[in-house]
Amino acid sequence: MAVRKLLPYGVKDYYPKEVKVLNRILREVERELTLWGYEEIKLPTLEYKELFETALGKKLTDGFLLKDCEGGDVLALRYDFTPQILRFVLHRKDRSYPLRVFYKGETFKGSGELWEEISVGFELVGAPSVEADAEVMAVIENILSSLGLEDYTLVVGHREAFDHLVERFSPAAVGKKNYSPQMAEYLKNYPLLAEEWEKLDLPQRVKRELFTLRELFKSYRIGEKVVFNPSLEPERDYYSGLFFKVVCKRGVLARGGRYDRLFELFGEEIPATGGGIKINTLLELVGDERENPKRVYIIDTTPDKVWGWKIAKLLRKEGIIAERDIVPREGEKSVSHAREKGFETILVVEKDAVKVLKGEEVFQIPLEVLGESGKNLSDLI
C-alpha cells in the first residue's frame, strides 16, 4: 500500500545548495565567535518539561512532549536554548567568570511555519557590565558583516524603559502602540550614535546604560545601523536590562538581551546576556561561497575504470572536488548530466587519452603524458 503522508507539517528537507549556504553561515558564525573567545558546548535535545516551563514562565502547550522511560516524568524536545544554559551554568563545578559559550542545534515548537528550526546562540555569563551587552551586539554585527549583509537594523530596547512607559501610559497603550501626542516621542526609533534620545523622560539607569553603549560602539567603530526604541517590548519575561533584535525586510535575523532575572528564579544571582541567530531567515539572504573550489566531473568510458579512479584520487589530493559518473549510459548523456549539475570542467577518460571539456573549449591529454601517477593534471585543467 502506498504511503500517503511522507513529510510532517512544520519540517523541511534541506537540499544540497541550501546545505552549502547553511555550512557557510555556520562556519562564519563559529569563526567570529571563536575570535571573541567563545567556546562551543553541546546540549541535549531532551530536557524535563518543568525546566522550560519554570524558566519561560508558561505552560508548554506548543511543545513536543514524551514520557521518561524510567521514572514517568514528562520530557520535552528542546523548546528554547536559554533554559538549558541556565541548567548548564548551575550544574558547573567551576564558577569562574566570565563564561563565554556558544551552541548550535534544533529547537522544536508546534507553532509557526517551521516546527523544527536550526538555531545558533551564544552566552556571556557572569559579567554585569554594559560592556558585556555591547560585546554581544558587536558580535552579531560582525557576523552579519562577514556574511555580506548590509540592509538591516539593530533595534535596542531596555526593560526599565518599557516598564516606565507601561506605568505611565498603561499596558494596553504601550503594547498596542496607540498613538497620542504624549506618547509620540516614545514610539520612534532614535539613532544610538546621535543624542536626540537623551532628551526623553526615562529612568536614569536607562540613559546611563545607553550612553555607555553608545561610547563603546564608537570605540568598536560600529553602530551606524543601531537604533534605540523606548517602547520596544521585551520578547522574554526574564529580560532584565538592555535587549535587542535585528530586523530586515525578510523578518528577524537575530535577537537577545540581558537575562539576570532567569537565574533569580532559581535562587542565584548570576548576571548574564546573550544572543541567538535566526539561521532559517539568513538562509534566504546569504549566497554561496564567493570563491568556490574547483569542481570536475569524471566520465570513464574504459572497461576497467582504473584511470578514472587514479585521476579522481589525484584531484582530491589537490583540493579539487572530483565527482565520478558511475551510472551505465552513453557518454553524451553523461556529459549532459554533468552540465545539468553545473560542472564547467568535464573529463572523459578514453582508451588512450583524457578529453577535457572546459566550457566551450575541448582538448585532449594523452595518457602517456600523464604517466602512471597522473602528475600535473590539476595544472592542465
- In one letter, which amino acid is 78? R
Give the domain CATH number at 120. 3.30.930.10
Choosing from 261, 283, 305, the residue where a domain stops is 283
H/E stretch holding 219: helix 204-220
Q: Are residues 347 and 251 in the same domain?
A: no
Choosing from 283, 312, 335, the residue where a domain stops is 283
Q: Are 63 and 76 in contact (CB under 8 A)?
A: yes
Q: Are residues 69 and 211 in the same domain?
A: yes
Q: Are residues 160 and 272 in the same domain?
A: yes
Cα separation, 126 vs 130, whole angstroms = 12
Per-residue model confidence (pLDDT) at position 221:
87
Per the listing, cell 529547537 goes with: 107
Those residues of the chain that have pLDDT short of 70 are: 1-3, 177-179, 288-292, 371-381
Nearest by Cα to 262 from 239, 230, 285, 287 = 239
Q: Are residues 211 and 121 in the same domain?
A: yes
**62 grid coordinates:** 506548543
**162 grid coordinates:** 518599557
Structural domain including 25 reads: 16-283
Cα separation, 353 vs 348, whole angstroms = 8
Q: Are residues 277 and 309 in the same domain?
A: no
**Tens of pLDDT, residues 120-151:** 999 999 999 999 999 999 999 999 999 999 99
| Total domains in the fold of the chain | 2
Q: pTM score, two decimals?
A: 0.82
Q: Are residues 219 and 85 in the same domain?
A: yes
Question: In angstroms, what CA-CA distances link 228 with 91, 99, 140, 171, 198?
Answer: 36, 27, 16, 20, 11
H/E stretch holding 87: helix 81-91
Q: Are residues 45 and 186 in the same domain?
A: yes
**241 grid coordinates:** 536590562
Do the domain assignments include residue 163? yes
Q: Are residues 305 and 278 in the same domain?
A: no
Per-residue model confidence (pLDDT) at position 379:
66
Given CA atoms 260, 265, 269, 274 in this order, what sign does their dihedral have?
negative
Q: Are residues 44 and 191 in the same domain?
A: yes
Do the domain assignments include residue 370? yes
**Tens of pLDDT, residues 211-232:** 999 999 999 888 899 999 999 9
Q: Are residues 339 and 269 in the same domain?
A: no
Per-residue model confidence (pLDDT) at position 275:
97
Choosing from 223, 257, 283, the residue where a domain stops is 283
Cα separation, 83 vs 53, whole angstroms = 9
Torsion of CA 88, 90, 96, 98, to 10 degrees: 60
Q: Are 101 and 40 in contact (CB under 8 A)?
A: yes
Nearest by Cα to 373 from 301, 306, 278 = 306
Q: Are residues 85 and 222 in the same domain?
A: yes
Helix axes 49-56, 81-91, angle to 10 degrees: 100
Do the domain assignments include residue 10? no
3-state SS, residue 33: helix
Own/partner contacts of 354-363, CB < 8 Å, gap of 24 or more, are 354/307, 354/311, 356/380, 356/381
3-state SS, residue 193: coil
